[in-house]
Amino acid sequence: MRTAVITVVAGRHTHLTRQQQGLAAATLRPDQRVIVAIDDDIAAAVHGADPTPVVIAHPRSPLGLPLAAARNAGAKRAIAGGADLLIFLDVDCIPGPDLILRYKQAAPAGKRTLLCGPVAYLPPAPPGGYPPTGLDRLAAPHPARPAPADGNTLDSAEHELFWSLSFALTTEVWQEIGGFTEDYVGYGGEDTDFGQSARAHGIGLRWIGGATAFHQHHPVSDPPYEHLADILRNAAIFHRRWGWWPMTGWLTKFERLGLAHHDAAAATWTARRPCPCPPDTPPPPAEQLPRVLHVDRLVDTDTGNLGYG
């Protein structure tokens, strides 16, 4: 079974370099390495990288990062290169030494299954960066997701817990699901949608012990004020497709801050645009955020998806 590790990049070059180092040190290395660069020159970041990546240039959308379309482009290239098992790894994630091996071992028994490995969150990197080994002593798996012990697996019917930080599936399952829905642009919703598409096709969800990824620390805002427009727009798409809202944890917080209002009767959210913070910029203190601003008619959400957190 030929494997491909696919990563979408838009900045975070230091994180990409550390991810590459993790792949180079893995007990089993991928047969293909595919990086999709969204409007981003990553030549310096991947110079001399081993395994040598195939880099695909992908344009940015006026609405934001086309993450769904970029993942689809990466999968298309990997399949054209002969991949049987697609492994998607977020740029913030350093693969544990056995991640590829455990996914590959789990694949034959999980042919119609999404395979998800535990993701452990690292503290801020010390001076000089994270150590090459021993990351498991620095981080614990995310408390909202299953984390079976190494060598164990756990089947789940909770497809809403699927996220795109680290997962694998056979090319047959990928093609059956049809990839990510490219209507989603920007932050949030597309991976929850992918999980629901898998459920609709009768595809199972299995958590794979030992396929651990380590999420590199970066500043985040909670709720993610700078992505409010993306979240509401993508939630509206999700609601039209599935009839319920993802990311309600964030929306509820937006409403408490006066940044969004939920009209239950109309099944809409009104969005009050916060400060013009660019992505990855910490927001101002909550007391400095405007309480009343221009209103747009948008929509609603659930689970506090952390796929980009």
Encode pLDDT of 272-295 as tens digits. Answer: 754 444 444 454 444 444 332 222
Helix (H, G, I), strand (E, B) or coil at 258: coil
Q: pLDDT at position 273, please? A: 55
Residue 147: how many CB atoms within 10 A of its CB?
17
**Is 306 part of any domain?**
no
Domain final residue pick, 215, 238, 261: 215
* Minimum mean pLDDT range among 5-9, 209-213, 265-269, 273-277: 273-277
Indicate if 128 and 257 belong to the same structural domain.
Answer: no
Per-residue pLDDT tens for 46-95? 988 889 999 999 999 999 999 999 999 999 999 999 999 999 999 999 99
Kindly state the DSSP code that residue 221 receives in the 8-state scheme. -
Indicate if 74 and 183 belong to the same structural domain.
Answer: yes
What's the rounded Cα separation, in Å, for the pair 64 and 302? Answer: 21
What's the rounded Cα separation, in Å, for the pair 215 and 309? Answer: 9
Confidence of residue 220 (pLDDT cuts 50, 70, 90): confident
Indicate if 14 and 146 belong to the same structural domain.
Answer: yes
User: What radius of gyration do the chain's Cα atoms show?
Assistant: 19
Indicate if 95 and 229 belong to the same structural domain.
Answer: no
CB 100 within 8 A of CB 28: yes
* Minimum mean pLDDT range among 48-57, 98-107, 171-180, 275-284: 275-284
Q: Can you give the length of the chain in residues?
A: 309
What range does the domain containing 240 cover? 225-298
Indicate if 121 and 195 belong to the same structural domain.
Answer: yes
Indicate if 201 and 277 belong to the same structural domain.
Answer: no
- Name the pTM for this structure: 0.87
> Helix, strand, coil % (nearest 5) of the chain?
30, 20, 45
Indicate if 44 and 98 belong to the same structural domain.
Answer: yes
CATH number at residue 190: 3.90.550.10
Domain final residue pick, 182, 215, 248: 215
CA nearest neighbour of 42 among 14, 76, 77: 14
**Is 308 part of any domain?**
no
**Is 16 part of any domain?**
yes
**Is 206 part of any domain?**
yes
Indicate if 61 and 174 belong to the same structural domain.
Answer: yes
Indicate if 232 and 210 belong to the same structural domain.
Answer: no
* Minimum mean pLDDT range among 21-30, 49-58, 99-108, 279-288: 279-288
Indicate if 56 and 147 belong to the same structural domain.
Answer: yes
Per-residue pLDDT tens for 234-278? 988 998 999 998 988 888 888 888 888 888 877 787 777 544 444
CA geometry: angle at 300 spanning 294 and 304, to 5°?
A: 110
